[in-house]
């Protein structure tokens, strides 16, 4: 993957394991998947180092490979993780690197999928859940130990969950 400076310029290409070990700046993509009702898909993942409870996290997170465009990285990661091919994702935010996010320039994409079209019959389906705004608020506030550090940071940066829009 590409090692970046704080301004986002490429400095070098290095193996991913070495970039992470040295906590060097690099690019990544995160995909937030919503259903038509506005609920957000989260995926249960093992806790770091396999100790403690599983944690709810973003469904798709991936490094951007050397020479890869952001949308291409997002499309590849979504297809590899959830077996969904979608090229019409919307970039919603770019987050600057920090120690809290692993020195990643995180590019957050959003995608809305029709209900019933996500992860049916796929491995790990039981580990995916669509959270409504109130459920998400409760998870982040009252059960924060069950949420990954990455998602905590994203929720804070993106001000999740957003207020539900009421019909006029």
Q: Assess whether pLDDT exceeds 60 at residue 168.
A: no
Query: What separation in angstroms does the CA of 36 have from each of 56, 81, 117, 118, 155?
Result: 21, 20, 11, 11, 20
Tens digit of each residue's pLDDT (9 = 90 or more) over 51-101: 778 999 999 999 999 999 999 999 999 999 999 998 789 999 999 999 999
Inform me whether the pLDDT recorded for 123 exceeds 60.
Answer: no
Tokens of 136: 């998400």
- The full set of domains in the chain, from first to last, is 2-111+129-158 (3.90.79.10)
Which carries the bigger pLDDT value, residue 114 or residue 153? 153
């Amino acid at each position: 993957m590409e090692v970046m400076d704080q301004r986002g310029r490429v400095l070098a290409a290095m193996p991913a394991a070495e970039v992470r070990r040295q906590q060097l700046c690099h690019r990544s993509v995160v995909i937030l998947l919503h259903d038509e009702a506005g609920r957000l898909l989260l995926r249960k993942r093992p806790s770091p180092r396999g100790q403690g409870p599983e944690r709810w996290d973003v469904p798709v997170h991936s490094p951007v490979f050397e020479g890869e465009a952001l949308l291409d990285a997002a499309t590849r990661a979504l297809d590899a993780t959830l077996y969904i091919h979608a090229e019409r994702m919307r970039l919603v935010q770019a987050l600057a690197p920090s120690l809290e996010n692993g020195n990643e320039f995180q590019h957050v994409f959003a995608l809305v999928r029709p209900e019933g079209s996500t992860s049916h019959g796929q491995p790990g389906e039981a580990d995916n859940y669509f959270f409504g705004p109130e459920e998400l608020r409760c998870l982040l506030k009252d059960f924060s130990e069950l949420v990954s550090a990455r998602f905590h940071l994203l929720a804070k940066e993106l001000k999740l969950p957003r207020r539900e829009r009421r019909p006029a």
